[in-house]
Structures are given as structure tokens and as C-alpha cells.
Amino acid sequence: MYILEPISKERIWGTPRLHDYQGEETIEKIGSVYSASGIAELDCPVVNTDASLNELIQAQPEKFGLRPGEVYPLIISFTACDENLSIQVHPTDDYAKQHENKPYGKSEAWYFITPPEEGWIYAEQLTDNKVAIQEAVKENHYQKVLQEYPTEQNDLIYIPSGTIHALTKGSLVYEIQQSTDITYRFYDYERTDKNGDKRELHVNQAIETLIPEQKVEKKSFEIGTTAQQREFTIQHLEVSGPIENSANIASVLTILSGELILADYVCTPGQSLLLMPGEEAILPGKAECVLATPIPYWW
């Protein structure tokens, strides 16, 4: 078992609320605390070693249940916003392979620890006509074509790749995504960064990979619930003592509240532990957690 050190990222829509989830104290507007990630751009250090997660995996991929050259296929984060996120689309598998040289696209899911202030997020659209969607957004009439999707605390919303979506103000979520960390911004409210520059948009890519008829999936994700999608399985559980990864691939145990102790190291909310294939452990303490297991469907 490995303990991972989270990475904080500042965003213009971010919030200090993520200081409660291992967010770096020197950053005021934290958009995401990456609790478990092993890609080149976001490679979590491994506690009590001189290595990062990806360095360990590349040295012995079979130990983690992976194939040579693969990165860990999931990214786990805590994401929160004091403003709406950009309206966006993530690449599908086919689009990622053809245009980004990636083995798969980016599907994701949000578990709402804190729901959005107005009780909805943007997800899906009100028309399947791509031209109409593009023109409406171009003319700042995005509210005429995007769906306000109702969302409550403890909801789990799965967003398959190729689906238009955006978190809205007030949200704080546990986020699980595939490790093709590519976002095509469709609209960003004409915002500027601290240098006065507008953030780059990717309208053509967003429209090309958009699957308008596609739907998100919503379910309650209370403690004791398991949710499985094509890309991953997640379990919402309370851990107090024994924990087991019965899969043949490494899984990520992420703390939502409480604390667990591993070899005298106290793990607190926002932190993730990597359980190796078939590993059993006893973790003193008590914590509300999510256990995430990748499903390598692309093999």
C-alpha cells in the first residue's frame, strides 16, 4: 500500500473551501486537489519515498496490474467552485485515439459532497442540432440550448465522454475521471485570467467530439452503495480496520471524512492510498471513503 501526496491547482473559478481537503494553504482559489494521479502533468509524489506514482508504475507495471508503458488509468480529485466552470466536452475514445494519440477518452463522475447553490448543473442540451448549439453559444445564448440538470447532495452523476457539461457555483465534489486529462472548452463566460487574458476555447474540437443524443446518469451514492460504469467501479464505504482490494489491478482508497492510520502516518480528508492487487490491510481509525477500481476495457 502506498500513501499519495495530493497536488493543488489554482483556477479562476476556485475556492478556499478545498483547504479542508489537503489543499495548499498558499493558494486561495483552488479549483482541484488531485488526490491520486499518475500522468506526466499531474504526478502525485508517494509519501516516504523519493518517487512519484508514475515512476513506480513505469518501473514495475505488472506489480500494479498494468501493462508496460501504461499510466494509472484513473485520476481522483476533489473539485470545488465559487463560480461556474466553463461549459465543456471531453474527447470520446475514438476522438482521443485519432486526434490526441491517447488510448482512451475521458469519462468521469461527480459525487456531490456539497450541491450547487442553485440546485442544478449544466448537463446535456435541449437540442441535438450541433449547428444550433454552436450558434447559440457563439451569440451568448447558451441558456437556450443547455439543460439545467437538477442535483442534490449525495448524488452521483456519471458523464460519459462526448457529453456537454459544467459544474456550477457552490459545488464541491469527489471526482473520478479517466486519465486522458483533456478538456475542450466550449464557452467560458468571457472571463479573463489574472493577466487580463481570456482562456483558450476549443469550440471546433468540442463540437466534433460531442454526441448530442447522449445522456448523463444520476443515482444516489450513500454509504454502502457501489456504482459500476464501463471505465471504473466505485464503492462508498466506511473504513475502520480491515480493507481489501480483491481486484487484479491497483485501486484507490480516498478519504472523504475522518482519518486512517498507516504505519504511524495519519491520513486525513483529501488523501488517497493505493491498494495493490489482492492486498489486504488493517487501518486503525475511522473514515468515510470511496474505493475506486479501474476497468481496463481497452485491453
The parent domain of residue 27 ranges over 2-220
Do 243 and 271 share a domain, yes or no?
Answer: yes
For residue range 45-74, list pLDDT tens digits in order.
Answer: 999 899 999 999 999 999 999 999 999 999
Q: Given this model, what pLDDT does residue 165 score?
A: 96
Same domain, 26 and 120: yes
Q: What is the mean pLDDT of residues 157-164?
A: 97
Q: Same domain for 16 and 151?
A: yes
Q: pLDDT grade, residue 283 (50/70/90)? A: very high
Indicate whether 216 and 256 sit together in one domain.
Answer: no
pLDDT tens digits, one per residue of 75-116:
999 999 999 999 999 999 999 999 999 999 999 999 999 999
**Within this chain, do residues 36 and 182 fall inside the same structural domain, yes or no?**
yes
N- to C-terminal Cα separation, the chain: 25
Task: Please indicate, yes or no, if residue 145 is contained in any of the structural domains.
Answer: yes
Q: For residue range 177-216, list pLDDT tens digits in order.
A: 999 999 999 999 988 888 888 889 999 999 999 999 999 9
Q: Which pLDDT value is given to residue 195?
A: 84
For the residues of 188-257, what is the DSSP string, one character each? -TT-B-TTSPBPP--HHHHHHH--TT---EEEE--TT-EEE-SSEEEEEEEEEEEEE--SSS-EEEEEEE
**Does 110 share its domain with 198?**
yes
My answer on whether 158 and 186 are in the same domain is: yes
DSSP 8-class letter at 52: B
Assigned domain for 196 exists: yes
Which pLDDT tens digit goes with each residue over 260-277?
Answer: 999 889 999 999 999 999
Asked whether residue 258 carries a pLDDT value surpassing 90, the answer given is yes
Domain termination residue (choose one: 172, 196, 220): 220
What pLDDT was estimated at residue 190? 87
Cβ neighbourhood burial of 1 (10 Å; 0-12, 13-18, 19+): middle
Residue 136's pLDDT is 85
User: Do residues 167 and 96 both lie within one domain?
Assistant: yes
Domain match, 205 and 270 both:
no
Q: What are the residues whose beta carbons fall under 8 Å from the beta carbon of 102, sequence distance 6 or more? A: 91, 96, 180, 182
Query: How many Å apart are CA 206 and CA 210, to the nearest integer?
Result: 6
Helix ranges (DSSP H) in 63-199: 93-99, 130-138
Give the model's pLDDT for residue 159.
98
Number of domains in the chain: 2
Domain boundary (167, 192, 220) is at 220
Answer yes or no: do 76 and 126 share one domain: yes
Q: What is the pLDDT of residues 19-52, one digit of tens each?
A: 999 999 999 999 999 999 999 999 999 998 999 9
pLDDT of the residue at 268: 97
Task: Share the mean pLDDT of the chain.
Answer: 95
* Contacts of 98 by beta carbon, 8 Å cutoff, 6+ apart: none
Q: Is residue 135 part of a domain?
A: yes
Q: Does residue 216 lie within any of the structural domains? A: yes
pTM for the structure as a whole: 0.96
Q: Could you tell me if 251 and 236 lie in one domain? A: yes
pLDDT of residue 196: 84
Residue 299 falls inside a structural domain: no
Q: Is the pLDDT of residue 291 over 90?
A: yes
Which pLDDT belongs to residue 275?
Answer: 97
Check whether residue 25 and residue 85 sit in a common domain: yes
**Residue 249 pLDDT:** 98
Residue 274 is part of a domain; what is its CATH number?
2.60.120.10
Instruction: Supply the pLDDT for residue 198.
Output: 86
Asked which of 164, 194, 220 is the last residue of a domain, the reply is: 220
